[in-house]
Amino acid sequence: MLDVIIKGGTVVAPEGASVMDVGIEGEKIVAVATPGTLEASGVRSIDATGKIVLPGGIEPHTHINVPVPDYWAGGKSEVFTQPPESASRAAAFGGVTTYVDFAGNLPLNPGAVPPADPIMAQIEKRRQTFTGHSYIDFTFHYILAGAVSPQTIGEIGEAIQSGLASFKVFTTFFAKVPTGHLWAVFQEVAKHGGIMAVHAEEDDIVTYMEDKLVSEGNDHGSNLHLVHNNLSEDIAFRKVIRLAESTETGIYFVHTTAKEGVAAVAEARAKLLPVYGEALHNYLEFTCEDYKKPDGLAVHTYPALKFPEDRDALQQGLVDGPMCTTATDEWTTYKDVKLSGDTIKTVCGGHNGIETRMPVTFTKLVSTGRISLNRFADITSGNAAKILGMYPQKGAIAAGSDADIVLFDPDIKKKLTLDDLHVDSDYSIWEGFECHGYPVMTMLRGKVIVEDGKLLGSSSDGRWLPRRVAPGVLAQPAA
Ligand SMILES: [Zn+2]
């Protein structure tokens, strides 16, 4: 017995987009059928005529409720990025039904030491931060920082068994993982069927350029792209790919920022290595030129915005392949914190983007005719689900999948203002951005959580999501 039918919309199913009805029973999609063929008596009917019916967005990269280092917060301590209640509320309004945050410690502080607790205890602690406080489903990458001890490496298998399928490392910042340890971590993660999420920059170039610009008195934040530069991404991506190739490890490159990074991922994929690229939506619009504008450092997320040709390469990468997902590196603070530091060492990372990712990507790539609706569903949902081990439970409109669904109205044209957004913040880099197409309804596992601008969900709706990466995703490019 169906509970809900979504009728007459253009349904973006894995096999193609066409006008279909979607039948939902409880938390699951049970049928995708020719219009009018589902038994409809006593069933709630949602009219989706003229709308696009998409799998709920999956945001693969957020930093919610984490301490902002004091050197990013103008010396203030006890500043945190926004909590899960507001981040997930904003996400729900933006058509997002699952996010992937992090457990373990972000290596952002000098002398940062890896936490003493075992991995499983860290995951549990982090799960408690979100349970009962999230409007949408959640899961984590686990951050391994610094020189990873043999004991911690020995805990990786258990974590993967428990459904924590992806591990994050940094090759720069205070607790970068040295190359030898990276090698050891890759071997262990590959052995147990997990995947690596890598923030790849060549630390020697980053620190050399930091010192050089400081000594020359050129350390204004508008020079961040000279520190976190194209060559650094080029070398780091290629080094990580070689380590991955030799250990047969799947790699998910978070925030690709340069045309060299896009090229490195494309070359690896041409060799059939399981390497996947993520692009942040602010990198699809802004460049390092924007740093020079008034309050221009607000657009910054690490590594650094590059040049117009890099922006174009990321866009093209989402159009035809090597870039697989869009994400935000969500890091929401208030404007005074975001703009408190203005040097290459003190500009605060991240911004609030979880609500704008889908409409901005739709506007830039679908409304301009550059990608199909299916490609849009892939780069906002399906590919993240596949790469990170949630597919087809998440990321698909198909019988058996969770009924995580977003209705997009392609005819809405609106200039974004802060009033449109639902974050705990007082600025948006997207203020004034003209959206063509916008989410109008969001459903989480069969429950409508946002409709017509109203929040209908509860912060206890979101659930922890165990993941397991399909072997095919780790064998060759599968998204
Ligand atoms: Zn990040």
Residue closest to 229 by CA, chosen among 251, 252, 210:
210
pLDDT digits (tens, 9 = 90+) for 12-48: 999 999 999 999 999 999 999 999 999 888 899 999 9
* CATH 2.30.40.10 is the classification of domain 4-55+398-455: yes
Distance from Cα 255 to the centre of ligand 1, integer Å:
8
Q: Give the separation between CA 477 and CA 246, rounded to whole angstroms.
A: 16
CATH of 57-393, one of 3.20.20.140, 2.40.50.100, 3.40.50.2300, 3.30.1330.10: 3.20.20.140
Structure tokens at 33: 């059928």
Q: Which helix (H) or strand (E) holds 406?
A: strand 405-415
Per-residue confidence (pLDDT) for residue 77, from 0 to 100: 84
Eight-class DSSP state of 420: G
Q: Which helix (H) or strand (E) holds 55?
A: strand 52-55
Return residue ranges of the chain for CATH 3.20.20.140.
Answer: 57-393
What mean pLDDT comes out for the span 180-187? 98
Distance from Cα 317 to the centre of ligand 1, integer Å:
20
As a whole number, the mean pLDDT across the chain is: 96
Distance from Cα 215 to the centre of ligand 1, integer Å:
28
Return residue ranges of the chain for CATH 2.30.40.10.
Answer: 4-55+398-455
Q: Does the pLDDT value for residue 105 go beyond 80?
A: no
The residue with tokens 């912060």 is 459
Cβ neighbours of residue 116 closer than 8 Å, sequence gap 6 or more: none
Task: Kindly report the three-state secondary structure assignment for every residue of 185-223.
Answer: HHHHHHHCCCEEEEECCCHHHHHHHHHHHHHCCCCEHHH
pLDDT digits (tens, 9 = 90+) for 199-230: 999 999 999 999 999 999 999 999 999 999 99
pLDDT digits (tens, 9 = 90+) for 379-429: 999 999 999 999 999 999 999 999 999 999 999 999 999 999 999 999 999
pLDDT digits (tens, 9 = 90+) for 450-476: 999 999 999 999 999 999 999 999 999
Per-residue confidence (pLDDT) for residue 372, from 0 to 100: 98
Global confidence as pTM:
0.97
Q: Give the separation between CA 282 and CA 143, rounded to whole angstroms.
A: 24
Q: 55: pLDDT confidence band, cut at 50, 70 and 90? A: very high
Per-residue confidence (pLDDT) for residue 114, from 0 to 100: 61
Q: 159: pLDDT confidence band, cut at 50, 70 and 90? A: very high
Distance from Cα 170 to the centre of ligand 1, integer Å:
10
Distance from Cα 329 to the centre of ligand 1, integer Å:
5
How many residues make up the chain in this entry? 479
Q: 108: pLDDT confidence band, cut at 50, 70 and 90? A: confident
Distance from Cα 108 to the centre of ligand 1, integer Å:
11
Cβ neighbours of residue 172 closer than 8 Å, sequence gap 6 or more: 199, 201, 202, 203, 206, 207, 236
Per-residue confidence (pLDDT) for residue 174, from 0 to 100: 80
Note whether 114 and 105 are within 8 A (CB). Answer: yes
Per-residue confidence (pLDDT) for residue 112, from 0 to 100: 60
Q: How far apart are the first and last CA of the chain?
A: 34
Distance from Cα 437 to the centre of ligand 1, integer Å:
27
Q: Give the separation between CA 90 and CA 67, rounded to whole angstroms.
A: 20
Q: Which of 13-17, 58-62, 69-73 has the lowest mean pLDDT?
A: 69-73
